[in-house]
Amino acid sequence: GQCLTSEFFSSDLGVCVPCTSCKQYPKTPSCNTCKPLEETPHVWKLAAITSFSVLGVVLIGAALIIGVMMHRRKSHKRPLREPIEETAGPLYQA
């Protein structure tokens, strides 16, 4: 029998059984065919949440970096009259 990915074929019953029943009855025959898919809903939720939060962090980080870059460009254009010695001050005296 062709079962869904979230199901397994129970040879005892001769029908497709949802993998969720494996949690209630772990000793069910053919449950081992379900093992990798057992935690799929949670894994997918976690994956979705983490990927979205990572994406959010990346977007915020990118926005901040772009903002800083733009700000620096603007502020770099103004102090062209100032001597360059200031940037090569005590920081570079290693």
| 53-83 tens-digit pLDDT | 999 999 999 999 999 999 888 876 655 565 5
Q: Are 22 and 38 in contact (CB under 8 A)?
A: yes
Range 62-80 burial, b when 16+ CB lie within 10 A, else e: eeeeeeeeeeeeeeeeeee
Q: How many residues does the chain have?
A: 94
pLDDT score at 18: 85
- CB half-sphere exposure, 14, CA atoms < 13 A: 0
pLDDT score at 62: 97
pLDDT score at 48: 87
pLDDT score at 76: 62
Per DSSP, which regions of 1-94 are E strands? 7-10, 15-18
Between 29 and 1, the more confident residue is 29
